[in-house]
Amino acid sequence: MQYTGHGGKPLVERVITDKAEAKKKIAGLKTMPASRQMATEAIGIAYGFFSPIEGFMKKADVETTCKKMELTDGTIWSIPIVYDISDAEIAQYGLKVGDSVLLTYDGNPLAIFDIEEIYTYDKESMAQDVYGTKEEKHPGVKRTYNYKDKFLGGKITLVNEPKVREPFTPYFLTPRQHRQKFAEKNWIKIVAHQTRNVPHSGHEWLMKHAYIAAHGDSPVEQMETMGKAISGILVNCIVGEKRVGDYIDEAIVLTQDELRKSGYFRADIHMVTMTFWDMRYAGPREAVHHSIIRTNLGLTHHMFGRDHAGVGTYYHSYQAHHLLMSIPKEKLNITPIYVLEWAYCPHCGEVTCIGLCGHWKELQKFSGTKIRSIIMDEVKPTRLIFRPEVFDVVMEASKKYGFGSPFVTQEYLQKAKPAFSIEPL
């Protein structure tokens, strides 16, 4: 079945699944090792997470992405997907336009890269356009400045599918597999919750808020029967490059799933998956990119909260909402659900939406940093703000995967196994 992806274009799938055919296609090709960053994005391109993009961007698409937030054909696009390379590497591998090169990862075949263009791009200008700043302390800007001086553009074809390690294995689904899963579940409306966090009750209520908003004009009778839901919440965890102090990916994925396992969400309305993507912290532009990815996964709605994909004080709290609102509806085939924060009100004795509760001065706002501080102090939070089952999973994950910490440490960065590997073909 052919699915439709972002921009109303066919979902991209550039994967050779037949090993014999793959071996035949790569025979005699020049080989070049791909970094983890580039391998991650090659996989994303080939499975269609970034549809309609079929390869690493050529200069004209980078230019329009930066300047107009669209591809050369007018499709909305907010973040350049580029393959950087040095002159020394171009010489070392003897690369030229028109070559097809075999990218390798872990020393094994990964993808065929048809080099259609070799170009330069002003990195400062790219940073300013995408991140709204040239300051190197912004992690996305730093990543941009760290790009090597040349870029390769051209199509990618995956010849060897990644092996995703435990505990991530059941959570990695391609866009096609997501859509098949939704069809099995009979979900018609599906709202995305983007996350790189262990959930506290504030997150849980954001998801419930978004679900109710997305489902609001649908019949409710099915909801009276467990197993008959026609709308769902997809928690799509971003798994990728980490910074010291972030939650480890294992804790994020497992705790999100625990919310359903422990009954805080019904089994027939909640599902957790993951997407490989290195966060750029591009705030509003990253929100648009997340919308594109989730459109490609087959979702109908996307929740956006405060400071979506932001960092520090570079973007104001609801800047992502404003950018999304400025995009014509027909250009982004997913409906944004804008949500306000939820907070604990001691007067009400419950978690409530700050836009609804009148005890404004008494509200105790959730803060991811504050919750992290509580967990670091090894204090079990009250169940109203953090579910005890989730806390237990965080602690288990820290022992099992985090070298004693639920947060990324230098030791974790050095010793943790990558989430995926490429095996011999």
Partner 1 sequence: MAETYPINIWINEERFNSLQNAGLGKLLKEELAGMKVLIVPCTAEQRDKVLQLFPMAKYDAATTKSIELLPKKVKDQIYDMVVKKKSLDVMDDFIKLVEKG
Distance CA(82)–CA(42), nearest Å, equals 10
Q: Which stretch binds partner 1 (CB under 8 A): 36-44, 191-199, 261-269, 306-314?
A: 306-314
344 near partner 1 (CB under 8 A): yes
Backbone angles phi, psi at 287, to 5 degrees: -60, -40
With CB under 8 A as the contact rule, the residue among 328, 378, 417, 424 that binds partner 1 is 378
Which of 212, 244, 267, 425: binder of partner 1 (CB under 8 A)? 244
Strand, helix or coil for residue 257: helix
Cβ neighbours for 116, distance < 8 A, ≥ 6 positions apart: 55, 58, 97, 98, 153, 154, 155
Residue closer to partner 1 (CB basis): 368 or 418: 368
Q: Which of 379, 399, 423, 425 binds partner 1 (CB under 8 A)?
A: 379
Site for partner 1 in 28-87 (CB under 8 A): none
Kindly report the number of other CB atoms within 10 A of residue 123's CB atom.
18
Residue 245: CB minimum distance to partner 1, A: 5
How far is it, in rounded angstroms, from Cα 247 to Cα 240? 12
Q: Which residues pair with 118 in a beta bridge?
A: 152
Q: CA 410, CA 416: separation in Å to the nearest integer?
A: 10
DSSP code of 172? Answer: B
Instruction: State the Cα–Cα distance between residues 273 and 286, nearest whole angstrom.
Output: 19
Nearest 5 degrees, angle CA 93-CA 95-CA 101? 80
Please identify, using beta-carbon distances, which residue of 217 and 378 lies nearer to partner 1.
Answer: 378
Distance CA 253, CA 198 (A): 8
For partner 1 (CB under 8 A), the number of binding residues is 26
Which of positions 384-403 make contact with partner 1 (CB under 8 A)? Answer: 384-385
DSSP for residue 261 = H
Q: Which is nearer to partner 1, 316 or 400 (CB)?
A: 316
Question: According to the binding rule CB under 8 A, does residue 376 interact with partner 1?
Answer: yes
Q: Is 167 exposed, middle or buried (0-12, 13-18, 19+ CB in 10 A)?
A: middle
Per CB under 8 A, which region of 73-81, 229-237, 248-256, 377-385 contacts partner 1?
A: 377-385
Among 35, 169, 382, 421, binds partner 1 (CB under 8 A): 382
366 binds partner 1 (CB under 8 A): yes
Q: What angle do CA 258, 372, 322 make, to 5 degrees?
A: 85
* 167 touches partner 1 by CB under 8 A: no
Instruction: Give 116 or 389: the residue with its C-beta nearer to partner 1.
Output: 389
Residues 346-365 close enough to bind partner 1 by CB under 8 A: 346, 364
Least CB distance to partner 1 at residue 117 (A): 40
Q: Which stretch binds partner 1 (CB under 8 A): 26-34, 82-90, 307-315, 326-334?
A: 307-315
Q: Does 368 bind partner 1 (CB under 8 A)?
A: yes
In whole angstroms, how close is the CB of 344 to partner 1 at the nearest point? 5
In the chain, the amino acid numbered 69 is M
Member of 2, 120, 225, 369 binding partner 1 (CB under 8 A): 369
Stretch that binds partner 1, among 95-103, 213-221, 269-277, 373-381 (CB under 8 A): 373-381
Identified binder of partner 1 from the candidate list 340, 354, 374, 416, rule CB under 8 A: 374
- Closest CB to partner 1 among 329 and 380? 380
| Closest approach of partner 1 to the CB of residue 367, in Å | 5
414 contributes a contact to partner 1 by CB under 8 A: no
DSSP codes of every residue in 22-61: HHHHHTT-EEEEPPHHHHHHHHHHHHTTTTT--EEPPHHH
Q: Are 23 and 160 in contact (CB under 8 A)?
A: no
Which helix (H) or strand (E) is 287 found in, with range? Answer: helix 284-297
289, amino acid identity: H
Give the footprint of partner 1 on this chain (CB under 8 A).
244-245, 307, 312-313, 344, 346, 364, 366-370, 372-374, 376-382, 384-385, 407
